[in-house]
Chains A and B, each alone.
Chain A
């Protein structure tokens, strides 16, 4: 009886516990690349400014907007490495929120910017985004792989999203730019509230 009870319990456990079998154990080789690629997707504070920038790039048109394909990944790389060289820049999260609110407002206004200003905004958002994601690197993290992951996902996201938005704008109907501008106002609204939250926290801490 005792044996049968034990065997039944073991069988029940064996039936209930197993998880999915992994054919490719990424942790053993390229784990840090995937860590870098997935980190920007772990919070709205990383992905929201990228979305705003992609919409802004589409609103600039293909000729000016395509500069973001060069500036953005470069900025992400430099920003992520900067986080290892100069860690603990406390103003970066606040700068990220201010930049997001600014880009969101520019999208809401539907403004076509002078190219240097657009490039500057892209560079700031990329550097800040790279820096914030780079802060997730630990001592034993392979920087090259992690930064490669962040840069790859950043490039993929900005390229695909801005191209999608541009194609969306090319369609029929005057409501399309309005829909994108409404999206910009939503992003700006979120960023303004988070800015208020961060400032209130700083004031209360002080």
Chain B
């Protein structure tokens, strides 16, 4: 069958039908489609997860909190998002913080080593260290926020992802109840430190 001849012969009727299809299949217009909110949320949610340097550092915070035990196990994950938000505000407002990528890579190394060697400083030292790193992680996320489809959705997404990564770290950290589990957690810390070294070397 000669398809080109067929389409040429019936070109007009096909165009008419196509026009009718377009006209009749139009859907209603909505003021709030929810698209921006969903895109904003997902872009924020994926930001810490797709960035391996962020991901390992967040998991390390949970691991270290679990190793340090009560009250660090809940103080660190509760204070981290709040301090991270302050860093986010710095990023949003355009304040320039030097070497954010270096400090983020260094955070993975420092936290990874702390877990690998089971370093147990006083709580305030651990909180200050984690807080300083939280500023830089929040700064990196905050720089992306003004360009997001929905800034509130982006904020909800990345705070939720960060919290869930902490929770993953805490869940893995519960292995410290068993001697062999403690070794596994320390090995995770060493691996996180190696990832940090890789990112530092890649800069």
Contact = CB atoms under 8 A, between A and B. Distances in A.
Q: Which of A9, A19, A48, A181 has the most CB of B within 10 A?
A: A9
Interface residues of A, number: 36
The prevalent SS among residues of B at the interface is helix
A17 B17 CA distance: 13
A190 interface: yes
A193 B13 contact: no
A13 interface: yes
B100 interface: no
Contact of B88 (A6, A105, A108, A193): A193
B156 A190 contact: yes
Interface in A34-61: 39, 42-45, 48
B32 A42 contact: yes
Interface stretch (B48-56, B76-84, B107-115): B76-84
Contact of B78 (A39, A185, A196, A197): A185
Q: Which of A6, A42, A190 has the most CB of B within 10 A?
A: A190
Contact of A192 (B25, B77, B85): B85
B61 to A, nearest CB: 13
B74 A178 contact: yes
Q: Most chain-A Cβ atoms within 10 A of its Cβ — which of B78, B93, B94?
A: B78
B6 to A, nearest CB: 7
A129 to B, nearest CB: 14
Interface string B143-160: 001100011110110011
B152 A192 contact: no
A70 interface: no
Nearest to A45: B152
Nearest to A97: B152
A178 B150 CA distance: 29
Interface in A153-206: 175, 178, 181-182, 185-186, 188-190, 192-197, 199-200, 203
Contacts, number: 113
Contact of A5 (B10, B31, B92): B10
Interface residue tally of chain B, by bracket?
35 or more
Given A44-B153, A192-B85, A200 B94 contact: yes
A196 B145 CA distance: 11
Contacts of A178: 74, 78
Contacts of A1: 6, 9-10
Given A43-B37, A178-B74, A185-B78, A192 B150 contact: no
Contacts of A44: 37, 41, 150, 152-153, 155-156
B32 A43 contact: yes
A24 interface: no
B144 to A, nearest CB: 11
12 contacts: A9-B14, A48-B156, A108-B78, A186-B81, A189-B85, A189-B155, A190-B85, A192-B86, A193-B85, A193-B88, A193-B155, A197-B146
Given A196-B93, A197-B151, 18 more contacts: A1-B9, A9-B14, A39-B32, A42-B32, A42-B34, A43-B32, A44-B152, A48-B156, A178-B74, A182-B78, A185-B81, A185-B82, A186-B163, A188-B81, A189-B159, A192-B89, A196-B85, A196-B92
Interface of B: 6, 9-10, 13-14, 17, 20-21, 24-25, 27, 31-32, 34, 37, 41, 74, 77-79, 81-82, 84-86, 88-89, 92-94, 138, 142, 145-146, 150-153, 155-156, 159-160, 163
In order of increasing CB-CB distance, the 7 nearest A-B pairs are A196-B89, A189-B81, A189-B85, A192-B85, A42-B32, A190-B155, A193-B88
